[in-house]
Structure 1
């Protein structure tokens, strides 16, 4: 998400230095963006104007005379942490955001990256599984409470959501719920609110939605499996869901399967083609969803339902169900190999 009033600092190359100075002072963003046909031509800061005056330029001359013609820009797909790091590394206070076509689409300030906008959207974390494949580690501990990098995976997941302003959490429990509840309590010591939703019997990810209280906020809900280690920008996922007017959004991962042999294609005994060591690519379910309130309210209470089936049902009824590809780090910690990999990867994620 870019600065809300970024369009107020757009000026044309023929606007005067005086006008640029007025824009910089009025908007308090410390910058004016020189734009022509939606393309960024340059950036003007207070320092640029001061240097221009020292060089003999008058205030009535075009701002293009003093602008920085080669400003640093950033891809609009970068998340807040990446933008913040870029500004720290280059010692700058703001970054124009451009899309893949070079069109100016926003502005991010360093000060904004240090502030987290509070979001009322609820977050529903599925933490009730038995973690059978991780036994004996899960014999006396729910899988999301296994420690990665010195703290429970569930705590790392919650902290990542907090980075994007989420504070209302609902946690679904079933196996050893007391361990989770004793650790997090009502969430106040972590700066969040937690409501626990206990499944008497496993209902599947879709079925658990029906147990959420009637007091649930009406905003779209983000749902995620509690055993996922990721630095996904949850704000971007939510914004996509809202902008596309979705009923349900499923995050997906690009998954490749490489066949180490020549694949023979044909009909009957006839060979029509030989494809040597092909790679097949698929989108796979990443276990992260955004669900609008109308979907939640439509669910039958206490009935088993998994998310893929829920998506199929709603799609057949004409609901808008879309996929959102994620390219960030993502690991489903389901097996011992995954758990060992997580112990190494956590130190490089910055979460």
Structure 2
């Protein structure tokens, strides 16, 4: 029997039997499930003591003292994500359920203390002028604009950190001292940060030629004005399994033509489609690159990521596309900024 399964009790289990279970396992915690193993609630030592103070007999059922709204998570997320949930809620244990609501594991905080950080480098392009966001960017670099209660750039870094990525390189230019003064070496966030100073505009790929040393493993490149909750661990796994030299994240974009579209064959009318909706994939500004791609980046030259990918395609290198189905927002305009602020508390709980 798995150790965590010893903590499962039925709603009919008596309080005294539940006490014996949590004392025997030394976890001071039990999970109440129904006959199909679906999560109903949780019981802590404190719940038992409060029940006793209310006058409940020890023969009363666990259902009478359980927390009916426990904090839990769904399966399929990274250990570092679960660790963050535990830390944010000051928990020592976290039930994990499948899509049917059935408990399939319990994660304990003391077992996550040794979760190793990943060595893959994350390069964040944070040197943009943010012209379309003026006047918000007149005195503040775009990545330092606050969405919620912290800068966009901090949310990006924290999101990567939740999946174990702690090595960052920030390319900076416009009002770069604000970024450097705030983040410094990243120690206050539990990460390592170094900087590339762009003396002139080099584009979203050109700054890679300024890396002091070539990464030894596939590395991320992301624009410093994006908000997304994609699983970076899954993205890296996708890149590695596809055996690609480069992977670009794409987002489905729908747009409606505001007119009736006419299809003709010479002068013969074939059809009229009223205000059709077109679907396309657009560049989402997130990439995973093999270290070898840096050899394709010219030095001291303006060079954007689309230029790099087109060059790789021209050289018959394998490149892949990773579709983003999670939340994604490019903070390019003032209305994007306002929309992201309105959605932030729900998306980044």
Instruction: Note whether the superposition's TM-score is higher than 0.5.
Output: yes
2:132 matched to 1:133? yes
Q: Tell me by how many angstroms 1:327 deviates.
A: 1.0
Q: 1:78 to 1:255 in 2, by over 3 A?
A: farther
* Other-structure match for 2:326: 328
Q: 1:224 to 1:261 in 2, by over 3 A?
A: same
Alpha-carbon distance in structure 1 between the residues aligned to 2:116 and 2:271: 56
State the SS of the aligned residue for 1:121. Answer: strand
* Other-structure match for 1:189: 188
Q: Tell me by how many angstroms 1:75 deviates.
A: 8.5
2:128 matched to 1:143? no
Alpha-carbon distance in structure 2 between the residues aligned to 1:285 and 1:152: 23
TM-score (norm 2): 0.72
Long gaps (5+) in structure 1: 1-20, 25-29, 32-44, 52-67, 99-106
Q: 1:82 to 1:261 in 2, by over 3 A?
A: farther
Alpha-carbon distance in structure 2 between the residues aligned to 1:108 and 1:240: 25
Q: 1:152 to 1:48 in 2, by over 3 A?
A: closer
* Other-structure match for 1:54: none
Q: 1:97 to 1:126 in 2, by over 3 A?
A: same
Q: 1:72 to 1:291 in 2, by over 3 A?
A: farther
Alpha-carbon distance in structure 1 between the residues aligned to 2:327 and 2:119: 25
Residue by residue over 1:9-65, the C-alpha shift from the partner in whole angstroms, topping out at 9 and shown as x without a partner, is xxxxxxxxxxxx3xx3xxxxx46xxxxxxxxxxxxx4467999xxxxxxxxxxxxxx
* Other-structure match for 2:201: 202
Alpha-carbon distance in structure 2 between the residues aligned to 1:205 and 1:70: 52
TM-score (norm 1): 0.72
Q: 1:294 to 1:71 in 2, by over 3 A?
A: farther
* Other-structure match for 1:276: 274
Paired residues of 1:207 and 1:304 also in contact (CA < 8 A): yes
Task: Let me know the Cα RMSD of the aligned residues.
Answer: 3.2
Alpha-carbon distance in structure 1 between the residues aligned to 2:265 and 2:316: 37
Paired residues of 1:252 and 1:323 also in contact (CA < 8 A): yes
Count residues with an aligned counterpart.
285
Residue by residue over 1:301-331, the C-alpha shift from the partner in whole angstroms, topping out at 9 and shown as x without a partner, is 2222111111111012121100000111111
* Other-structure match for 2:251: 253
Q: 1:158 to 1:71 in 2, by over 3 A?
A: same
State the SS of the aligned residue for 2:249. Answer: strand
* Other-structure match for 1:217: 215
State the SS of the aligned residue for 1:315. Answer: helix
Alpha-carbon distance in structure 2 between the residues aligned to 1:344 and 1:261: 32
Long gaps (5+) in structure 2: 13-33, 40-72
2:126 matched to 1:124? no
Q: 1:82 to 1:195 in 2, by over 3 A?
A: closer
